[in-house]
Amino acid sequence: MSINKELLGIYQKALNQCRSAKLSYLKSADKQHLPEYKRFFNLQATVRNRIYNDLITLVNGKEVELDPSFLHNHNREEIMIATIGSEKQNAFSKAIESDESMIELMLQIMEIDVNSESQNGLIRFVEKLKNSLHTNRIFEKQSFLLREEKKVS
């Protein structure tokens, strides 16, 4: 497999994970009742949307091109908010897993794509995602503790 095809494949996987994480955060926001939680999840979705658009810009600057169908082909099951009830894990946990997967994919891209401009952008994305993951884990622990307190009382 040529490096360009391999690179394009990893970029597409990262873009899919980013899109999935964004949708999961939006689903999580829809389930929240407290405004500060809604804002938190919507902000996380906005960050993923920004990374998605910046990744598209990085890909467009390469000698490879995304198939137009890729940009418009969304997984209908992920978009439908009604599927939340049937999911085995909650949307927030799914978003965290997508973030972790995105970090791994971006590190793979950095190994293949040695362009310094791409490296700088990817390093920035990885740092944003790592900071977000740290914040999300703190939020997850706090919300878990609140749920446990409600069960006890």
Per-residue pLDDT of the chain (153 residues; tens, 9 = 90+): 566 788 888 999 999 999 999 999 999 999 888 888 899 999 999 999 999 999 998 888 876 677 665 666 555 444 444 444 444 458 888 888 999 999 999 999 999 888 888 889 999 999 999 999 999 888 878 776 555 555 555
CB 3 within 8 A of CB 112: yes
Regarding pTM above 0.75, the answer is: yes
Q: Report the 10 Å Cβ neighbour count for 102.
A: 26
Long-range contacts at 52-57 (CB < 8 A, ≥ 24 apart): 52/15, 52/18, 52/19, 52/22, 54/121, 54/125, 55/11, 55/14, 55/15, 55/18, 55/125, 56/15
CATH class of the domain defined by 3-152: mainly alpha
Among 12, 13, 38, which Cα is nearest to 25's? 38
